[in-house]
Amino acid sequence: MSSKSQGDENKNLPLVSFMSGGIAGAIEAAATYPFEFAKTRVQLRQEAGVPTPRNPFKVVSQVFRDEGVRALYKGCSSLIVGSVGKDGVRFLSFDVIKNAFADPETGGMTPARNMLAGMTSGVVASIFAVTPTERIKTALIDDARNKKRFKSAPHAVKLIYQETGLLGIYRGFAGNTLKQASATAFRMGTYNILKEYERARDIEQSTTVNFANGAVAGIVTTYSTMPFDTIKTRSQSAKGASTIEAFKSIMADGGVKMFWRGTTMRLGRTVFSGGILFTVYERVAAVLNAFLRT
């Protein structure tokens, strides 16, 4: 078998990339949502007389004690729907871009091209899936702290659209796109750089290896993109804010260190989510590829 045909066999069909990414994203979002909930609460501005603990683990225990386990999943449905679209689009666009950039004989990619492919797919995902669903998720978490105007995700969409139009649904687009472009570049890029390295040394791509690669990619992504994530959260609160307003409010609340508020909880989530996401993606893609190519 030629090296070219071997390279073709390693490529996922477009439908496989989209479906595998969507399924992996939904499972990852549901499994790790309490981490995301606590991280978002910590990043939001404190309401007068209602201080939020700085320790995300205290946020989880406090909400669980005062409001019950269901409260920890406020906004989860929005994130799951968004993750299906986000990761479906992200993996599809990444695989399409990666295949276009790859060496035609070996299917290999340089680290720089891996990162560029990830960045481009992050922008695509932000436009078509991530920004609106992240906006609703963040608004639901923020609203649940006191006002409780939103009864559900659809109700939140309706009210926000009535009050601010489509631009309100896309509030935080700039910060979110910066975050998605950088996060996807680091996450997808790091994962595929590790994968290329392992393939060159004939290291078998087992479930354990996939999970470890995804976890490492999650660590790199968290520390590299945390400021963008904090800006995005402030922009997409229930009240909403422009990217500049969000930046100013973060600086006013605690200076530069505030941009890394919630890192501990996000790190916990991204390590597990990276492992879960890529492991599920690889397994589902293998099954679908085998089925569709028979």
The region that residue 47 occupies, defined by phi over 0 for left and psi between -120 and 50 for alpha, beta otherwise, is beta
DSSP state of 258: G
pLDDT at 45 over 80: no
Q: Give the domain range for residue 154.
A: 7-292
- The pLDDT tens digits for 101-127 are 887 777 678 888 889 899 999 999 899
Decide: 246 and 235 in contact? Cβ < 8 Å.
yes
Residue 1 lies inside a defined structural domain of this protein: no
pLDDT at 7 over 80: no
**What sign results for the dihedral spanned by CA atoms 17, 203, 272, 27?**
positive
Once rounded to an integer, what is the mean pLDDT over residues 41-60? 68
> What percentage of the chain reaches a pLDDT higher than 90?
32
Residue 282 lies inside a defined structural domain of this protein: yes
Residue 2 lies inside a defined structural domain of this protein: no
- The pLDDT tens digits for 10-31 are 678 899 999 999 999 999 999 8
Please state the domain count of the chain.
Answer: 1
CATH number at residue 193: 1.50.40.10
Residue 260: burial class (beta carbons within 10 Å; 0-12, 13-18, 19+): middle
Give me the pLDDT at residue 3, please: 46
Sequence-separated (6 or more) residues with CB below 8 Å from residue 151? none
pLDDT at 1 over 60: no
The SS3 of residue 163 is: helix
| Nearest CA-CA partner of 144 in 66, 79, 250 | 66
Once rounded to an integer, what is the mean pLDDT over residues 159-166? 93
Give me the pLDDT at residue 155, please: 93
